């Protein structure tokens, strides 16, 4: 069947079965080179005249949206959406949908892996063996069992992380002003104040979206509110943490260690002071990058596209801007 609609992927192609799903509904899927996305996404989108966007890289702002007058839907290939101007999309009648929870298990596994790497002193042991020093003096691992772990954010990823940590018999508590105590309670004891959680926890793991409220949330004062000798794990967004303040807290020993998978600017480059801080583990924003998550994100993005272009059932929990349904472009469409 000849494709009658086009979806542009702002980056490499999505999973094969997600492509097949779109083809079955006469939708052609066109990938872009990341370099082209970074150079001028609006110009490339204008040339393709897409009805849908699947966002993998780049920023989708009003200029990009206006470059594609045929555009009907924006689907993010992941759970975050801080790279999409949601207000501009809503004003233009464009639903913004995400692949909510598609990579939650992958990120949770990475968060716990990073905790274990810090607690078990994997970096110094690895360095010592490769340098022929065998066991370095004074480096002693500790157990995760019994450690107080504070989860900041109890959405899908926070809950998946808590579920894994229960198997290690860690003592769990959580803070998330956007989630009621009910869903969190079976997994972690809720705290009403973030600073109280930080004073309690041996390990703090972040699972928050980037919003105006969370940007810079872990500034110098908040990092100093953490227990002396605690560790911080950030598999959320780099802009949530003040990187210079984190480097300082590691340098002077207030924090015993940190692991970061995300940075304020990516790629972060070798000049970042945080990378020279002691007992830091850094990974290149790969917590959610697994084969399984890649397939789930592709399939959810494709299903989100179909919910608008082909009026298949809409997963409302994936819709970032529900107010858009009242826009004249969509209000008359059957649901």
Q: Which residues contact 89 (CB under 8 A, 6 or more apart)?
A: 60, 65, 74, 95, 96, 321, 324
Q: Which helix (H) or strand (E) holds 306?
A: helix 291-309
Active-site annotation holds for 266:
yes
Active-site annotation holds for 224:
no
The active-site residue, picked from 56, 77, 100, 237, is 237
Two structure tokens written together for 92: 């233009």
Active-site annotation holds for 237:
yes
Distance in angstroms (rounded) separating the CA atoms of residues 178 and 180: 7
The CB-based long-range contact list for 159-163 (8 Å cut-off, 24+ gap) reads: 159/104, 159/183, 159/184, 159/187, 160/104, 160/105, 160/107, 160/108, 161/107, 161/108, 161/111, 161/112, 161/205, 161/207, 162/187, 162/188, 163/108, 163/187
Residue with tokens 């002193």: 121
The active-site residue, picked from 23, 224, 285, 327, is 285
The DSSP bridge partners found for residue 171 are 148
| CB of 250 closer than 8 Å to CB of 269 | no
Distance in angstroms (rounded) separating the CA atoms of residues 24 and 238: 38
Helix axes 122-130, 104-119, angle to 10 degrees: 60
The active-site residue, picked from 266, 276, 310, 316, is 266
Spatial CA neighbour of 69 closest among 46, 37, 91: 46
Write out the catalytic residue numbers. Answer: 237, 266, 285
């Amino acid at each position: 069947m000849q494709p009658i609609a086009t979806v542009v992927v702002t980056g490499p192609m999505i999973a094969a079965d997600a492509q097949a799903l779109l083809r079955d509904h006469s939708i052609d899927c066109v990938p872009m080179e990341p370099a082209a996305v970074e150079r001028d996404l609006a110009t490339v989108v204008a040339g393709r005249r897409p009805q849908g966007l699947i966002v993998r890289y780049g920023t989708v702002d009003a200029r990009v949206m206006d470059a594609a007058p045929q555009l009907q839907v924006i689907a993010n290939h992941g759970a975050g959406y801080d790279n999409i101007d949601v207000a501009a999309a809503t004003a233009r009648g464009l639903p913004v949908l995400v692949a909510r929870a598609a990579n939650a298990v992958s990120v949770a596994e990475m968060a716990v892996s990073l905790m274990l790497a810090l607690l078990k002193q994997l970096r110094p042991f690895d360095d010592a063996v490769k340098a022929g020093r065998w066991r370095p003096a004074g480096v002693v691992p500790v157990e995760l069992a019994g450690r107080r772990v504070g989860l900041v954010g109890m959405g899908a990823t926070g809950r998946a992380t808590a579920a894994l940590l229960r198997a290690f018999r860690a003592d769990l508590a959580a803070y998330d002003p956007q989630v009621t105590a009910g869903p969190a309670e079976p997994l972690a004891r809720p705290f009403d104040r973030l600073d109280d959680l930080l004073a309690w926890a041996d390990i703090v793991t972040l699972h928050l979206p980037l919003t105006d409220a969370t940007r810079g949330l872990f500034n110098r004062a908040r990092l100093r509110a953490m227990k002396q000798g605690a560790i911080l794990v950030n598999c959320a967004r780099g802009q949530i943490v003040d990187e210079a303040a984190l480097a300082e807290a590691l340098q002077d020993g207030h924090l015993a260690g940190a692991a970061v998978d995300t940075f304020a600017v990516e790629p972060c480059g070798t000049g970042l002071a945080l990378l020279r801080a002691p007992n830091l583990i850094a990974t290149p924003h790969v917590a959610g990058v697994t084969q399984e998550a890649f397939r789930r994100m592709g399939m959810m993005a494709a299903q989100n596209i179909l919910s608008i272009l082909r009026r298949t059932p809409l997963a409302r929990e994936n819709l970032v801007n529900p107010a858009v349904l009242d826009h004249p472009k969509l209000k008359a469409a059957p649901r």
